[in-house]
Amino acid sequence: MPIYDLSYQRYDGPRRLGFLWWTIARTTAQATLKKPANSRYLFFIFVTFLGFAFLVYFWRTATEYATALFEIDPDTGSLEIRLGHYKFPLSLVFFRYLSILFWPVILYVITSVSAALSADVLGGGLTVILARPLRRRHYVFGKVLGLAGPPTLSATLVIFGAFVLLWGYYFNFFQMLHHLPVLLCSSLYLFLAGGMCGLSAVAFHPRTSTFRKSAGWLFFYWFGTWIFSTASSNQALRTIVSMGSPIHLLDGIYLWLTGVSNPQGVDSRFLRDVITGDVPFYLLPSALLVHFLLLAWRTRNLFVGVR
């Protein structure tokens, strides 16, 4: 008798197989959150928010005695931050803040990758997991989400908190709507950065090598390329090297999307080139896509001999 005639005796309902990545993500997040170092990174993200809140509160209450730090431009209705002779738009302030928030996110991911993947890749758990109705891309997506999700979500909540704080002190409802794109672009920045961090951590996780080697590659990918690209004085060379730096690409995309037109207050020469239009914008998302594809391709190494 064909087996399928027997098998239905025990079948008791349809199964949802489309969301198995969520189970992977949740299990990974639980495993990474158990690490004490990671709660410190999340705490640091919260501390930056307290600092931001203190600044906003201090300069609001000190306006009677000192020069206001935050000002609404009467012509454009934009919030600007005055430092000495310079005035910075809100998008640049958030850009600076995002640069600070990004550090705990990447450090969280780097220190968690071992907890998230070693049991699977080196302990043999992947063999059992992939003998389930789970696609490889769902596994990778779940891992990236579980690894980078908690710090990215925390950082995004903090950015939202900072925006709400400014709204409470400085904006009316319509001014809030006017500045909303900055908040959305900041969130997009964090999601892209978190996603790339998680993907790179999974992609660089070695099957047979050490955690240190893996962390070293990750540091080089994120910070080594960034340092090399900022060190170059030749514009063409700088542009080429910067295309290999995910930090520069993400920063450039953020600045372009938020419409920053004045390079004043931007330290990186490459980003100034982007703002002034010397480097065509379309190169940035294209290069980031190439990064994404290469990293996604590299994740295949995880499955060698497994599926």
Least spacing, CB of residue 206 vs other proteins, in Å: 19
Query: What DSSP assignment string belongs to 17-38?
Result: -TTHHHHHHHHHHHHHHTSHHH
Q: Taking every pair of C-alpha atoms in the chain, what is the biggest distance, in angstroms?
A: 91
Least spacing, CB of residue 19 vs other proteins, in Å: 9
State which residue, 10 or 85, has the beta carbon closest to other proteins.
10
Least spacing, CB of residue 20 vs other proteins, in Å: 6
State which residue, 20 or 279, has the beta carbon closest to other proteins.
20
State which residue, 3 or 236, has the beta carbon closest to other proteins.
3
Least spacing, CB of residue 149 vs other proteins, in Å: 18
Taking Cα atoms as reference points, which of 150, 182, 149 lies closest to residue 163? Answer: 182
Q: How far is CA 61 from CA 47, 65, 89, 97, 191, in A?
A: 21, 9, 21, 22, 34
What is the rounded CA–CA span in Å between residue 258 and residue 265?
A: 15
State which residue, 20 or 144, has the beta carbon closest to other proteins.
20
Least spacing, CB of residue 134 vs other proteins, in Å: 6
What is the rounded CA–CA span in Å between residue 185 and residue 140?
A: 25
State which residue, 14 or 74, has the beta carbon closest to other proteins.
14
Place of tokens 């579980």: 146
Task: Give the number of residues written for the chain.
Answer: 307
Amino acid at 151: P
What is the rounded CA–CA span in Å between residue 276 and residue 281?
A: 10
What is the rounded CA–CA span in Å between residue 301 and residue 205?
A: 9
Taking Cα atoms as reference points, which of 148, 157, 44 lies closest to residue 106? Answer: 148
Least spacing, CB of residue 168 vs other proteins, in Å: 40
Q: Footprint of other proteins on this chain (CB under 8 A)?
A: 1-4, 6-17, 20, 23-24, 27, 31, 119, 123-125, 127-135, 305-307
State which residue, 34 or 212, has the beta carbon closest to other proteins.
34
